Structure 1
Amino acid sequence: MRSASEPLDLDPGRQTLVSVGSMASVIESLPTSAFGNLLVVSPNAPARVEKTIERQGGDPSRCGHIPLTSSAPSYEGPLWTTSPVAPSDLTGLSMRYSRAMEHVESGRGWFCFDGVQLLLMYAAADDVQRLLTTMASATRTREVAGVYGLAHEAVTSETYERLASIFDDSVDRRPR
């Protein structure tokens, strides 16, 4: 596990699980280069994702968002978004991911899943593990860097280890 002090800069295709604090967004751990072509899955409203990207120095018009929520957020801004998907709908999430990844450039794009623990509140750990394995594999094959944020305190040690085994690396960005 790499430390929080090292810059989070991944080679194309590298998939990393990032432990974050319960209220933190893994988007804040991305390097500036990620915001040139980024797809984000997040339970946060598009306007909040947009603001987080802007705070990091990114251009939201170069980023996409799959809202992980049961309600349709109202948003008109530069961030392109898909229709929302409920956290319990792993098939719907997989379908939106597949379509949206067509806009992420191989060799230079980034994929960011913010709030992996939310899926575990609505779906069985085995199903979540299968989905994340599929996403990480497809993202790796496209040579897109992948960052998957998980509030470490929200899962058991066993669940964390199961999920960590999917990825190439893990990083701890929780506050000390």
Structure 2
Amino acid sequence: MDQAESMDTEETITDEESIILYFSEPEKGRATNTKVIQKSIDKGYRVIVVTNNFPSKILEKLYLKNGMNPEEVFFIDSVTSFAGGSSVKSDSNHIMVRSPQDLTGLSMAFSDALKKFKEDHIFILFDSLSTMLIYLPADKVVKFMHFITTKLRTLEESGAILAVKGGLDPMLYSQMGSLVDEIVDDG
């Protein structure tokens, strides 16, 4: 996978199981997130967002502003508690993880969410790979993403990983490229 394919988000989310790595310009990250979520909901998926980029409450407002019902999305949030949102607790629509560095907590939350929705056709959005690299070394991020993608493939589910365009070094880019079915440049 030498080059990210430039393609519309609408064309990439299908009814078949696949894992896509989306690259977008930093200022377009929220728009890419929103497009992927809307398309996944439209396709009938039960959407789970793993966020270490924006607090889940911010994403809920963003989705509502864009005409989506945030109740249709389940959140695994590793940034709110880390940023001092100590009053925020896990509930029926959120699992709060203490920090983006807590890969054990993220792994457990991910597995718990998959069990919770095991009867549904699931789509996982991981936002964002680039943010994880702020908190963790690249080798740990790749190992964690290998766990995520392998678990999705084992369960025959789909997902997307968001990253900032130009934000991955060539080695990490090729390692991540080997874990996904498609790489998309979302402009």
**Shorter-chain TM-score: which interval?**
0.7 to 0.9
Equivalent of 1:130 in 120, 140, 143: 143
Which residue pairs with 1:41 in the alignment? 50
Which residue pairs with 2:125 in the alignment? 112
Q: TM-score if structure 1 supplies the norm length?
A: 0.84
Aligned pairs, how many? Answer: 173
Unmatched segments (≥5 aa) in structure 1: none
Give how far 1:104 is off.
3.4
Q: Deviations over 1:53-106 (max 9, x none)?
A: 234433211211111221353569x98111233111111111111111223356
Instruction: Indicate the percent of aligned positions where both proteins have the same amino acid.
Output: 21
AA matched with 2:17: G
Q: TM-score if structure 2 supplies the norm length?
A: 0.80
Equivalent of 1:71 in 83, 86, 93: 83
Which residue pairs with 1:170 in the alignment? 183
Equivalent of 1:98 in 100, 107, 111: 111
Give how far 1:169 is off.
0.8
Q: Do the aligned residues in 2 keep the contact of 1:19 with 1:171 (CA within 8 Å)?
A: yes
Give how far 1:3 is off.
2.0
Q: Do the aligned residues in 1 keep the contact of 2:46 with 2:121 (CA within 8 Å)?
A: yes
Unmatched segments (≥5 aa) in structure 2: none
Which residue pairs with 2:165 in the alignment? 152
Which residue pairs with 2:23 in the alignment? 19
- Match of 2:114, SS state, is helix
Go from structure 1 to structure 2 and tell me whether the alpha carbon gap of 1:85 and 1:165 turns closer, same or farther (over 3 Å shift): farther
Go from structure 1 to structure 2 and tell me whether the alpha carbon gap of 1:62 and 1:103 turns closer, same or farther (over 3 Å shift): farther
- Match of 1:135, SS state, is helix
What is the rounded CA distance, in whole Å, between the counterparts of 1:33 and 1:105 in structure 2?
Answer: 21
AA matched with 2:47: L
